[in-house]
Chains A and B, each alone.
Chain A
Amino acid sequence: GDSVTQMEGPVTLSEEAFLTINCTYTATGYPSLFWYVQYPGEGLQLLLKATKADDKGSNKGFEATYRKETTSFHLEKGSVQVSDSAVYFCALSDRNAGGTSYGKLTFGQGTILTVHP
């Protein structure tokens, strides 16, 4: 079945440091890939997405590239801010060859990021 594995946290960085959160996946079809973020006291929000191999999703300075050959979708940001402190979830929604989603979103276990001034 589908699965998503994220690097274990928590991750603690100083402001302006470079961030990488690793994510690898297993899927039987042609999945869409997502990163969601959960800020303290708030609900999950879609951060970025990619729907096919070599696509790059980007938002708020974060980027992730869909790498089919390594089944990965690592999240990166060149210079983190204190306001980026949150829990980050990698997720996939598998699809058939025609691009129709099977529907279910499968999430990784989440990575807690804390950024200090």
Chain B
Amino acid sequence: GAGVSQSPSNKVTEKGKDVELRCDPISGHTALYWYRQSLGQGLEFLIYFQGNSAPDKSGLPSDRFSAERTGGSVSTLTIQRTQQEDSAVYLCASSLTRAGSVGGAFFGQGTRLTVV
């Protein structure tokens, strides 16, 4: 597709369940980012993939969070044993290479996760 695609757009899950969020970046983009946007808060960095390099996982809030990127394209963010504080909009972005080198990243519409 022409833009960054995320699925599902909305997800409601019960506390304690695992969830998987998917991101399809723009074709050819080597850099992929995950952010979390909570109500009334800014964007919290979670993880960054660049080509075949080891990902920057410095923003993952706990070991319940993990992400992988298969074949340098599609990425999946997994949250295990979800908690209510995990409720947020999860945003994925991609850029041709490192965002600061090319002038920014392109964002998807996000997945709104609600943990009940």
Q: Which residues of A contact B (CB under 8 A)?
A: 31-32, 34, 36, 42-46, 49, 51, 89, 91-95, 99-110
Contact = CB atoms under 8 A, between A and B. Distances in A.
Contacts of B108: 43
Given A44-B107, A49-B104, A103 B99 contact: yes
Nearest to A41: B109
Nearest to B42: A109
Q: Is the interface of B mostly helix, strand, loop or mixed?
A: mixed
Contact of A44 (B41, B91, B101): B91
B100 A102 contact: yes
Interface of B: 4, 31, 33, 35, 41-43, 45, 48, 50, 56, 59, 91, 93, 97-101, 103-110
B107 A45 contact: yes
A105 B105 contact: yes
A63 to B, nearest CB: 16
The 9 closest A-B pairs by CB, nearest first: A93-B100, A101-B100, A109-B42, A101-B98, A107-B43, A44-B107, A46-B104, A32-B100, A101-B101
